[in-house]
Structure 1
């Protein structure tokens, strides 16, 4: 049974034996393969392209500038930044920065792009303005609470002072006590019989 060789990438020749369920493949030359024994080739490590190259549909180079910052597991990160800044601007911006600052720059670009998608007019400035307004409201509430605490502390100090004054006055003025013989003579002198 004859088999025609088909050229694939990479070129593979297939030889079919009399058994329809057994076959052997070899790369490039059919003389190296034998129908009974095949040598297993070491598994090739296939690196998936970064999210940026996958979205841009281009080949991811070994030293791709975008690969360390846009992993293939998080394509949304590059999609958002690409919609606002564009791939060429992101690449140019990263190439101008030293490698120690690139990760922070990518985080800033993604944050700014998210803000621009939510608020196309003001972007991050709108979010910063809202946060500053919220901070000023909280500071006003904090100042009001501190004033109330100071007022309550003053009232408490006044109450404590009044209590101390009352206690000191009660200790200074002793209760007058009568001697026992004076009280008995008083009752004897003023005693009148009930019957006459």
Structure 2
């Protein structure tokens, strides 16, 4: 039974006279989560141990339920060691998505997010177009006001309001010019 347990040694940061003479105390860890669930002997060279620690058995259970142990092992054997951790986290993510949505899995989530991106991009384009339109209208109104002020002709206040209203209607595309309505209430 002790041969299937992993042993590691710990050392203390401060050296005392007794710690130099005494051997380090072994800490016994159980088999990795994969070996524990598969009920097999976990060796020191277990390929699954670094990615499925005994403290997180749920991680292997999810991946095992969707992909199967042999497929997980085959995939990890085909990859270089520095890519295995990313592959395991991707498998766990995809398995979780597959359990949530058995038909589409993570593809359904990706499609939903892409649709949200499209809607938000359309809203952004509309808001930017509206901003440009408002800036154009503002600059045109300011130009008209500036032109009115440069004329230096004394104009009655009611005529000024009528001229300003007519110019604003030209900007907005009013069909008929009637009596000026208040622009701001």
Q: TM-score range by the shorter chain?
A: 0.5 to 0.7
Q: What is the CA distance between 1:60 and its match in structure 2? A: 1.1
Matched with 2:125 is 143
Further displaced range: 89-98 or 54-63: 54-63
Matched with 1:89 is 71
Matched with 2:28 is 46
Matched with 2:41 is 59
SS at 1:45's partner residue? strand
- Name the larger-Rg structure: 1
User: Equivalents in 1 of 2:26, 2:99: separation in Å?
Assistant: 41
Q: Deviations over 1:52-73 (max 9, x none)?
A: 1121122211011111111112
Output aligned runs, 1:1-16, within 5 Å. none
Is 1:111 paired with 2:96?
Answer: no
User: Equivalents in 1 of 2:106, 2:91: separation in Å?
Assistant: 11
User: Equivalents in 1 of 2:122, 2:24: separation in Å?
Assistant: 69
Output aligned runs, 1:116-131, within 5 Å. 116-131=98-113
State how many pairs are aligned.
Answer: 136
User: Equivalents in 2 of 1:42, 1:106: separation in Å?
Assistant: 33
Matched with 1:181 is none
Is 1:79 paired with 2:61?
Answer: yes
Q: Deviations over 1:17-42 (max 9, x none)?
A: xxxxxxxxxxxxxxxxxxxxxxx997
Is 1:70 paired with 2:52?
Answer: yes
Q: What is the CA distance between 1:44 and its match in structure 2? A: 3.4
Q: Unpaired runs of 5+ in structure 1?
A: 1-8, 11-39, 175-196
SS at 1:64's partner residue? coil
Q: Unpaired runs of 5+ in structure 2?
A: 3-21, 155-185
TM-score, normalization by structure 2: 0.67
Aligned equivalent of 2:146, options 164, 179, 183: 164
Q: Which has the higher contact order (CA 8 A, sep 6+)?
A: 2
Cα-Cα RMSD: 2.3
